[in-house]
Amino acid sequence: MHSIWKSYPKLKRELTQTKQLMTKTLRIKNKAVESAVLEMLNQGGKMLRPAYQLLFSEFGTPDADKKIALAAAIEMLHTATLIHDDIVDKSTTRRGLPSIAHQFGEDVAVYAGDYLFVTTFKLMANYTDSLKSLQLHSDSMEKILDGELGQMNFRYNLKQTAADYLSNISGKTAELFSLSCAIGAIESSTSHLLASQARDIGKNVGIAFQIIDDYLDYTQTEQVIGKPVLEDMKQGVYSLPLLLALETKLVTLAPILNKREAMTDYDATRVEKIIRETNALDKTKEIALEYTNQALKIIQKLPKNAENTKQTLNDITTQLIERIR
């Protein structure tokens, strides 16, 4: 289990149970694919989404089996989207391992992702008591995929703004965080107010998380991040630091970015250098901090409980932003 959870023994234990349930649930006839997906589920991955979900369930009266099953469902859904994202982005690695698409081919990756999607719904349908969460789940998933398809409209678009980016990541990343928090609350029968606060906190944490990830793409080397920023640029996927730099350096950056698939490592270094000459990275950090603070503000409004969950949420959310401070 990731070191981020070491100070939270109960949560850590529950996340371990979540992993065990995922492993138990996954049964694919094609054993090579099964073991690759299992490796992906067990390796890396901080399990942030199930962690937030489990924490929000503490504000109600959670059922022990159900909360683990729903946490597993969320992490499997997340893994499904990663497997399909790696086809779309042509990523060769994921969490330091070869991506499923790279290792087994895109055809296997299509079905392996589909399989995990279905397992998600299966776990949900078998463990939830009401249709409400399933409706919420499918609404969120619809937003996520509509966001992904919407984002494709922006590929290679040098005129997209920071606002476009924020709207895209609201669908792409933040929706799943928001869903995790909301389901944690709803399925343990918290008040409506708490469920709505959970949703808002998740949204802000999710946006901050994606911005932090995109920031780190520019400041850490490939070995640490796993997914190279050059690939994104080649495919016309531009994240916040680059979009902010484009506001002042369009004329300099356009000829390099317009090389598209033909961009080289050297081109990527040049783009990175130009970004560093602007204040885009500082601004990116600031925006991530704003969303984090917004999340922390709502966390402060949560009620106190015996487990001091409020404090845990505060600490974890703060730790996420500290990766870039």
Residues that bind a second copy (CB under 8 A): 27-30, 33, 84, 87-88, 106-108, 110-115, 117-119, 121-122, 125-126, 128, 131, 134-135, 137-139, 141-142, 145-150, 152-153
Angle of helix 48-57 relative to helix 309-322, nearest 10 degrees? 160
Q: Which is nearer to a second copy, 174 or 244 (CB)?
A: 174
DSSP string, 236-298: T---HHHHHHHHHHHHHHHHHHTTGGG--HHHHHHHHHHHHHTTHHHHHHHHHHHHHHHHHHH
What does each C-alpha distance from 125 to 27, 135, 138, 238 come to in angstroms? 18, 11, 12, 37
Output helix, strand, coil percentages for the chain, rounded to the nearest 5: 75, 0, 20
Q: Which is nearer to a second copy, 18 or 81 (CB)?
A: 81
Give the CA count within 13 Å in the CB-facing half-sphere of 34. 10
- Closest contact distance (angstroms) between CB of 160 and a second copy is 14
Q: Which is nearer to a second copy, 146 or 286 (CB)?
A: 146
Q: Which is nearer to a second copy, 89 or 267 (CB)?
A: 89
- Closest contact distance (angstroms) between CB of 171 and a second copy is 9
Q: Which is nearer to a second copy, 168 or 292 (CB)?
A: 168
> 318: Cβ–Cβ under 8 A, 6 or more apart, which residues?
292, 296
And the tokens for 129? 């008591």
Question: Phi and psi of 43, rounded to 5°?
Answer: -80, 160
DSSP state of 112: H
- Closest contact distance (angstroms) between CB of 133 and a second copy is 9
- Closest contact distance (angstroms) between CB of 210 and a second copy is 18
- Closest contact distance (angstroms) between CB of 316 and a second copy is 29
And the tokens for 116? 């995990």
Q: Which is nearer to a second copy, 83 or 320 (CB)?
A: 83
Q: Which is nearer to a second copy, 171 or 241 (CB)?
A: 171
- Closest contact distance (angstroms) between CB of 95 and a second copy is 20
- Closest contact distance (angstroms) between CB of 91 and a second copy is 12
- Closest contact distance (angstroms) between CB of 170 and a second copy is 13
Is there a contact between 299 and 321 (Cβ–Cβ < 8 Å)?
Answer: no
Distance CA 106, CA 24 (A): 25
Place of tokens 């138990």: 24
Q: Which is nearer to a second copy, 1 or 38 (CB)?
A: 38
> 256: Cβ–Cβ under 8 A, 6 or more apart, which residues?
263, 267, 270, 271
